[in-house]
Amino acid sequence: MIDLRSDTVTKPTEEMRRAAYEAEVGDDVYGEDPTVQRLEKEAARILGKEEALFVTSGTQGNQIAVLTHTRPGNEILLETNSHIFYYESGAVAALAGVQTRTITGKDGEMDPKDVEDAIRGEDQHFPETGLICLENTHNRAGGAIVSPENMRAIHSIAKEHSIPVHVDGARLFNAVAASGRDVREFTDHCDTVQICLSKGLGAPVGSIIAGGQSFIGRARKWRKRLGGGMRQTGIVAAPGLIALTTMRERLKEDHEKAKVLKESILESKGIAVINQVDTNIVVADVTGTGMKAAEFVEDLEKRGILAVTFGPTLVRFTTHYDVTMDDVQEVSRLLRENF
């Protein structure tokens, strides 16, 4: 099977497996795991933040950020199709007791004026705006890059209103690799950021939250409350450190694979690419095949290709480390010959 469902399906490299086996460990809840400490220190350095915290997943990282930044009864502003709103099981309401106010963006970017207009004024009828969340790259916008300029404008507005900004940067290094810009051009325009080690970077598990020292201290307590204190965590932190330090540059390869896939889809009858393919995600509209997305995905599976539905007629293909260019060429051939 050629698995294009998600970059979350990547398997750890041999170097990661060896690092896990050989990892020096200690009790991380007591602050005694040296491998975790190295990972957190390196992540904070790369992201340009004072400190970082290793967490189990991107969702846990985002939820810890919301819990740490806000208090019950607050409102958070975020893009209509953002991961925090769309794919995290209503956790901001269930855990943090906050409500969401969504803003429809273009290619994942919210208009700064729309954000400013959505910030609540002082009125006893309104909730306080407690947090603004951005997503970069933006999954449901097809892996679109949110520009540093857009982030800067929103962060500037947020600072004027004393509102923190959190970035769900699960695929932030895809934005860095595709844009050719330094990661700090993105992370300078937020108060906190979450990055996944287990998507394009290929680690088997884990994410990082980075921010100020005081924030990370409070976030560490929320991690404990959520059951995220994992004791001898170096075994999973070691592959994460390999991922963070050796796998960022190769993300460009995934973007090239996605562009090849896009061109092959454009040559197929009845299938249209609806996103601009900034990074490693291709979203196809299969309306012209006469099939719904679920039928199309089922048909692909019979031909040895795995993809995911992204709406009634939309299908998402995601390139990653474990999909070779030869695999992409084979998928391209099958699409051209059968659709």
Whether residues 257 and 211 fall in one domain: no
Whether residues 51 and 104 fall in one domain: yes
Whether residues 152 and 223 fall in one domain: yes
What average pLDDT score do residues 234-259 get?
98
On the question of pLDDT at 336 being above 90, the answer is: no
For 123-280, list the strands marked E by DSSP: 129-135, 165-169, 192-196, 207-211, 272-273
What average pLDDT score do residues 174-192 get?
98
Q: Are 101 and 118 in contact (CB under 8 A)?
A: yes
Our count of domains for the chain comes to 2
Q: What is the DSSP string of 274-320?
A: -S---SSEEEEE-GGGT--HHHHHHHHHHTTEE-EE-SSSEEEEE--
| DSSP 8-state class, residue 192 | E
pLDDT tens digits along 32-82: 999 999 999 999 999 999 999 999 999 999 999 999 999 999 999 999 999
CA distance 5 to 65: 27
Mean pLDDT of the chain: 97
Among 189, 214, 246, the domain boundary falls at: 246
On the question of pLDDT at 30 being above 90, the answer is: yes
Neighbours of 276 (CB within 10 A): 14
Whether residues 236 and 254 fall in one domain: no
**Is residue 110 within a helix (H) or strand (E), and if so which, with residue range?**
none
* Residues sharing a CB contact under 8 Å with residue 307, sequence separation 6 or more, in sequence order: 4, 5, 297, 300, 315, 316, 317
Whether residues 178 and 302 fall in one domain: no
Asked whether residue 2 is assigned to any structural domain, the reply reads no
Tokens 């694979």 belong to 257
Asked whether residue 309 is assigned to any structural domain, the reply reads yes
pLDDT of amino acid 135? 98
Question: Who has greater pLDDT, 337 or 134?
Answer: 134
**Any idea what the CATH number is for the domain that residue 231 is in?**
3.40.640.10
Output the six-digit token pair for 261.
Answer: 């896939």
Output the six-digit token pair for 285.
Answer: 């509209």
Q: How much is the pTM? A: 0.96
* Residues sharing a CB contact under 8 Å with residue 252, sequence separation 6 or more, in sequence order: 177, 178
Asked whether residue 3 is assigned to any structural domain, the reply reads no
Whether residues 230 and 284 fall in one domain: no
Asked whether residue 5 is assigned to any structural domain, the reply reads no
* Residues sharing a CB contact under 8 Å with residue 159, sequence separation 6 or more, in sequence order: none
Whether residues 95 and 173 fall in one domain: yes
Whether residues 172 and 268 fall in one domain: no
Domain that holds residue 333: 250-338
Asked whether residue 188 is assigned to any structural domain, the reply reads yes
CA distance 280 to 306: 15
CA distance 216 to 17: 29
Q: Are 292 and 314 in contact (CB under 8 A)?
A: no
pLDDT of amino acid 337? 86
pLDDT of amino acid 321? 97
CA 59 from chain centre, in angstroms, equals 9
3-class state of residue 177 by DSSP: helix
Among 228, 246, 264, the domain boundary falls at: 246
* Residues sharing a CB contact under 8 Å with residue 302, sequence separation 6 or more, in sequence order: none
| DSSP 8-state class, residue 94 | I
Asked whether residue 1 is assigned to any structural domain, the reply reads no
Asked whether residue 187 is assigned to any structural domain, the reply reads yes
β-pairing verdict for 207-211 and 192-196: antiparallel
Whether residues 172 and 92 fall in one domain: yes
pLDDT of amino acid 322? 97
CA 87 from chain centre, in angstroms, equals 11
CA distance 37 to 29: 11
Neighbours of 226 (CB within 10 A): 16
Whether residues 119 and 259 fall in one domain: no
Among 246, 274, 294, the domain boundary falls at: 246
What average pLDDT score do residues 257-276 get?
93
Q: What is the DSSP string of 56-71?
A: S-HHHHHHHHHHHH--
Identify residue 71 by its one-letter amino acid code.
Answer: R
On the question of pLDDT at 133 being above 90, the answer is: yes
Output the six-digit token pair for 259.
Answer: 């562009």
Q: Are 200 and 254 in contact (CB under 8 A)?
A: yes
Whether residues 199 and 309 fall in one domain: no
**Any idea what the CATH number is for the domain that residue 287 is in?**
3.90.1150.10
Asked whether residue 4 is assigned to any structural domain, the reply reads no
pLDDT tens digits along 169-178: 999 999 999 9
Whether residues 255 and 239 fall in one domain: no
